[in-house]
Amino acid sequence: MTQPRFDVLAIGNAIVDVIADSTDAFLAEQGLDKGSMRLIDQAEAVRLYGAMGPGREVSGGSAGNTAAGLAALGAKAAFVGQVADDELGAIYRHDITAAGVDFLVDPRSDVGATARSLILVTPDAQRTMNTFLGAAQMLDARDIDPAAIADAAILYLEGYLWDPDVPRAAMVKAIDAARAAGRKVAFTLSDTFCVDRHRDGFWKLLDDGRIDILFANEAEALAMAGTDDIEAAKARLAAAVPLLVVTKSERGASAIAGSERADVPAEPIERLVDTTGAGDLFAAGFLAGQARGLGLEASLKLGAIAAAEVIQHYGARPEKDLKALAGDLLA
């Protein structure tokens, strides 16, 4: 196999985040589940935007954040996600390209508006996401180039992309292409509600041996395994995938690969501002470590470093020099 052009090719919803400070009272008033992601239509996006506070617009999207984090760590990353031919689409394209990621999809004028997620950040730094998928749900299987997939050591997919029908087909095609080329497939469960919506589909992916690396936080692992015993959940998932990574917020993260297991604590932080992107950047750090051939523990540590940076500011993409923060790990 020739040396692939990309360390990671990520596919996900191309979303601009609209981040506003909020209160618990506002979430209650709007009937929102703190910490979750819900899908909304355009009318609800307009209504909620009108009710929420002033926003900061920053490019986001789970797998896009991971791709930006990978590039910040010196890995070669590509991203596939659909934007419209509008101002937010131009912002999305600029930001991910300027982050050093190869953006492989052209904007389209026949897909409605570029996706946006209205993110309400409460004083406890939790984020509650209200996502209007717009153009992102029009990512077509035709936009998946098997040659590009074959040219990436790892294909990385977000569970969120399983929600809309059209990109689900694109993901399946991408997995086929990666398997045919002998590349690895990494997948994140994304969100407990997402797991609830697609548990059977996700299990089929695992049972069919189509996933090599699975990312989940503890709540998602429990939801997926249908148990409230975290050790049982991890054991069940670890038996279904060659490499399982479970993040545990302020308690760090674990990786299980067959009989091998590694654990790291969370990195210390000065101040918690906005947890948006914590899981995305953890995945970026871990995959950057894997791309460099590092072991489980060093890869987890890179994940913890990248996650710690992103939760200390608004927005889900790195602002500080992640390579410098990684220090000897990437030396």
Determine phi and psi for 272, rounding to 5 degrees.
Answer: -90, 125
Give min distance, CB of 99 to a second copy, in A: 5
Give min distance, CB of 20 to a second copy, in A: 8
Give min distance, CB of 164 to a second copy, in A: 22
Give min distance, CB of 71 to a second copy, in A: 10
Nearer to a second copy, 45 or 216 (CB): 45
Helices (H), the chain: 24-29, 42-51, 62-72, 87-98, 146-150, 165-180, 192-207, 218-225, 230-238, 278-291, 296-310, 322-326
Nearer to a second copy, 99 or 206 (CB): 99
Nearer to a second copy, 26 or 203 (CB): 26
Nearer to a second copy, 135 or 149 (CB): 135
Distance CA 10, CA 26 (A): 34
What lies within 8 Å, CB to CB, of 139 at 6+ separation is: 11, 13, 80, 81, 82, 105, 161, 166, 167, 170
Contact by Cβ (8 Å): 52, 118: yes
Q: How many other CB atoms are there within 10 angstroms of residue 96's CB atom?
A: 27
Give min distance, CB of 58 to a second copy, in A: 5
SS3 23: coil
Distance CA 37, CA 22 (A): 15
Give min distance, CB of 134 to a second copy, in A: 12
Nearer to a second copy, 57 or 263 (CB): 57
- Which residues bind to a second copy, rule: CB under 8 A? 20-21, 49-50, 52-59, 68, 86-88, 91, 94-96, 98-99, 314-315, 317, 319
Nearer to a second copy, 117 or 247 (CB): 117
Distance CA 248, CA 300 (A): 12
Nearer to a second copy, 186 or 322 (CB): 322
Give min distance, CB of 321 to a second copy, in A: 10
What string of DSSP letters covers 111-176?
S-SPEEEEEEE-TTS-EEEEEE-GGGGG--GGG--HHHHHTEEEEEEEGGGGSSHHHHHHHHHHHH
